[in-house]
Structure 1
Amino acid sequence: MTTIAVNGPAPYEVVIDQGLDARIAEHAKATGADKVMVVHQPSIAAPAAQLAKHLQAEGLQVVVEEVPDAEAGKRVATPIMLWDRLGEENFSRTDAIVGLGGGAVTDMAGFVAATWMRGIKVIQVPTTLLAMVDAAVGGKTGINTAAGKNLVGAFHEPSAVFIDLERLRTLPADEIIAGSAEIIKTGFIHDPVIIERYEQDPAACLDPDGFLPELIARSVAVKAKVVGEDLKEAGLRETLNYGHTFGHAVELRENYSWRHGKAVAVGLMFIAHLSHARGLIDASLVAQHERILHSIGLPTTYEPGHFDELYQAMTRDKKNRHGTIRFVALTGVGSTTRLEGPSIDELRAAYDAISQ
């Protein structure tokens, strides 16, 4: 078992192990809750029912709620439905929500917990690789609107995060590949050992019996350190958005039909080319981005002809200030900076470099 502490205003632990349902139930009881709502996606109804049994065995009243899969579950209608159910079941400020599922569920369950009675406890139980290394840790919550992804949300730290490595064995290969983009991102911005692992043996980096458990722990440790020092993204936490400015624009243009990790992978290539054009990194680091992403099956290009639409999406990015587009960029592996106010010509050139 690995336990990683997340410090900050409301410290909590990320527990990485196998067979964690009983421990999740014990933690829920220890929070002082009388009632727990388990929020899950359709594909994990059986694990949700199993977790509910463990919670009931601890004497807790359990409400199990299914929400639409993926980004469809982050539309405004979903929290409204859950708020109504919390009201019907008389959930109080001492009760709790469990977000069991992928990143869309942990984002949305956290948002509902943050807003019900101005904040109740949330326990995050990620079941996808992306959620394990990104969405479930750090207290960012949010839902989507027509204007963009996660533009409505709140910072609301979980009382605990439980990462059950057994769940990796039930994931489709494509889920592990997509989620790996966020691990690679943390390697480029803070932990060069992660990059070394992908260069050493890409296949092992996708293998639950290979490097993958180590990579999860390393990626979570990076995020825990960053959010522990900067919960509300005043500075350091912005580094976790490496590759996300262009990636979120792709997601919006694709109406969220692209997996988040795949959009981030293309975003990593976009900012690598933009950074190289600005003289921040050399061509070998751009090539390393492409080599690592390609080695595990992540996309490194995007179709041409959509720059204007993507540019408009980037102008609405949350990191922007006073109308200026701001990117997280590298100056080397493990070293970041801000790239602010690039010209349209520079942005178009980076887009052309990844278009085919």
Structure 2
Amino acid sequence: MTDRQRLITVPVPLGERAYDILVGRGLIGSAGARIAALGARAAAIVTDEHVGPLYASALTGALEAQGLRTTLVVLPPGEATKSYASLERVCDAVLEARIERGDLVVALGGGVIGDLAGFAAAVVRRGVRFVQVPTTLLSQVDSSVGGKTGINSRHGKNLVGAFHQPSLVLADTALLDTLPAREMRAGYAEVAKYGLIDDARFFAWCEANWQGIFAGGPERDEAVAQSCRAKAAVVVRDEHETGDRALLNLGHTFGHALEKITAYDSARLVHGEGVAIGLALAFRFSAFLGLCPPGDAERVEAHLTAAGLPTRLSQVPGGCGTVDELLAAMAQDKKVKGGALTFILARGIGRSFIAPGIEAGKVRAFLDSEIGTSRT
């Protein structure tokens, strides 16, 4: 089958900032021509020590064959790389490579590299174009789309950043063939999330087809494309997260708190695992508040468990912290307004909504019950 036959195009119509997400197997082979078509004269490729040895040489060669001057920036892998120190390193490397506003920063890697390289592109020369070449399932269906870029602070995850849309996203689903099983499972949490937000039919499709997604069949391309369509539709309605784009954070208030408590140590917890626990917690919290049928919360937990994902606080290696520690971590969530927590809750599968001003006492009571359950 040819690249053309496999190609799925998902447009993101944002006026002057519009771009396409291309999904399919083997796209890395045509990346040089596709990126060169954007009209740049030079490109700085940002990657990490895991992905670089696999794909950086081929991408560099493809770009240089199209006449682009290239430079390569290789960073350590892991969430800890989303730091001020790494941002400084990338910005200095891009400037040293004489990348101009009309040139490109190319993010070759997972969500960490995409977020960091995108933020560097947003601030260098007050804005340089960039391209996302996501290499994990999580980044293909979530972080590479929508223009959110940033780094972590000691106060919490993604608290320093900017909205900066890419010029192109190339989601080569064949790159996922070499992805460790744990990373594949973690990325799948974000796929399931799109069904849980507002598409019960897609969630049911996931329940029936998740094994094909993992195996690399045509289900994988469709899952990535449908996830991108869902996210693109929300981004077009609410580019800067002033309204219903916050729905995309379903499960993330809990998940980000767990990541902070585990000090962003990927040996203990990676982002998608935190999201999976967060999704299950969001539905159980909704049921706890009488908003969601308990059976729906059980169905969410059962599916995530079948896919090999954690769903309980007791499954966080090294512990999830105390209720007070969890609440303190949540207090730094970007959705906090006037000191009150905003959660994304659900009235059922595919029926999520923004719930501002949730009483801290109710959150505490729920977490007490969850931690109490984990100890029995």
Shared fold (TM-score, shorter chain, > 0.5): yes
- How many pairs does the alignment contain? 356
Partner of 2:19: 12
Superposition deviation, residue 352 in structure 1: 3.6
Which residue in the other structure is 2:38 paired with? 31
Structure 2 match to 1:216: 224
Task: Give 1:343 shift.
Answer: 2.6
Amino acid at match of 2:249: N
Q: Show the counterpart of 1:331.
A: 347
Match in the other structure for 2:139: 131
Selected match of 1:174 from 178, 182, 197: 182
- Structure 1 match to 2:299: 288
Say yes or no: does 1:42 pair with 2:49.
yes
- In the alignment, is the contact (CA less than 8 A) between 2:91 and 2:120 conserved in 1? yes
Aligned to 2:285: 274
Q: What corresponds to 2:330 in structure 1? A: 314
Match of 2:242 among 199, 216, 234: 234
Give the whole-Å Cα distance in 2 for the aligned partners of 1:113 and 1:247.
27
Deviation, 1:354, is 3.5
2:35 alignment partner AA = A
Counterparts of 1:235-274 in structure 2, within 5 Å, are 235-257=243-265, 258-274=269-285
The one-letter code sitting in structure 1 at the alignment partner of 2:199 is D
Aligned match of 2:195 in 187, 197, 215? 187
Mapped contact 2:343–2:358 kept (Cα < 8 A): no
* Alignment-mate amino acid for residue 109 of structure 2: G
Residue aligning to 2:8: 2
Question: Structure 2: which 5+ residue stretches go unaligned?
Answer: 1-6, 315-319
Q: Give the match's secondary structure for 1:43.
A: coil
**Contact preservation (8 Å) 1:197, 1:211:** no
1:243–1:265 Cα contact (<8 Å) kept: yes
Tell me, yes or no, if the aligned pair for 2:44 and 2:97 is still in contact at 8 Å.
Answer: no
- Tell me, yes or no, if the aligned pair for 1:271 and 1:350 is still in contact at 8 Å: no
Distance, in Å, in 1 between the alignment partners of 2:25 and 2:353 is 37
Q: Give the secondary-structure state (helix, strand or coil) at the position aligned to 2:353.
A: strand
Q: Give the conservation status (yes or no) of the 8 Å contact 1:273–1:353.
A: no
After the TM superposition, which of the residue ranges 286-295 and 152-161 deviates more from structure 2? 286-295
Q: Counterparts of 2:131 and 2:68 in 1: how far apart (Å)? A: 14
Q: Deviations over 1:272-315 (max 9, x none)?
A: 12211222211111111111111111111113651111101111
Q: Sequence identity, in percent? A: 38
1:221 deviates by 0.9
Q: Secondary structure at the match of 2:347?
A: strand
Question: In the aligned structure 2, how far is the partner of 1:135 from the partner of 1:175?
Answer: 14
251-260 vs 276-285, greater mean Cα deviation: 276-285
Candidates 78, 86, 91, aligned match of 1:70: 78
Q: Is the 8 A contact 1:26 1:58 kept in 2?
A: yes
- My pick for the range that moved more, 45-54 or 243-252, is 45-54
Q: Following the alignment from structure 2 to structure 1, what is the Cα–Cα distance between the partners of residues 113 and 210?
A: 29
Aligned-partner Cα distance in 2 for 1:49–1:145: 32
Contact 2:149-2:163 at 8 Å conserved across structures: yes
Instruction: Measure the CA separation in 1 of the matches of 2:210 and 2:362.
Output: 32
CA contact (8 A) 2:114 2:149 kept: yes
- Cα deviation for residue 163 of structure 1 reads 0.5
CA–CA distance in 2 between the matches of 1:294 and 1:198? 13
CA distance in 2, matches of 1:223, 1:81: 31
Instruction: Establish whether residue 101 from structure 1 lines up as the match of residue 109 from structure 2.
Output: yes
Of 328, 331, 343, which aligns to 2:359? 343
Secondary structure at the counterpart of residue 22 of structure 2? strand
Moved more, 223-232 or 271-280: 271-280
| Equivalence for 1:91 | 99
Query: 1-side partners of 2:79 and 2:59: how far apart?
Result: 23
User: 1:114: which partner in 2?
Assistant: 122
Q: How far 1:169 moved relative to its partner?
A: 0.8
| Structure 1 vs Structure 2 CA RMSD | 1.5
Give 1:227 shift.
0.5
Question: Contact 2:23–2:170 (CA<8 Å) still a contact in 1?
Answer: yes
Distance 1:43 1:172 in 2: 11
Cα distance in structure 1, aligned partners of 2:125 and 2:35: 19
Q: Does the CA contact (< 8 Å) of 1:190 and 1:222 recur in 2?
A: no
**Which amino acid in the other structure matches residue 5 of structure 1?**
P
Is residue 2–residue 15 contact of structure 1 (8 Å, CA) maintained in 2? yes
- Distance apart, 1:353 and its partner CA: 4.2
Greater shift, 183-192 or 106-115, is seen at 183-192
1:44-84 CA distances to partner (integer Å, 9 max, x unpaired)?
Answer: 22301110000000001000110111212211111111111
Give the distance between the partners of 2:218 and 2:252, measured in 1 at CA: 28
SS in structure 1 opposite 2:86?
helix
Match of 1:302 in 2: 313
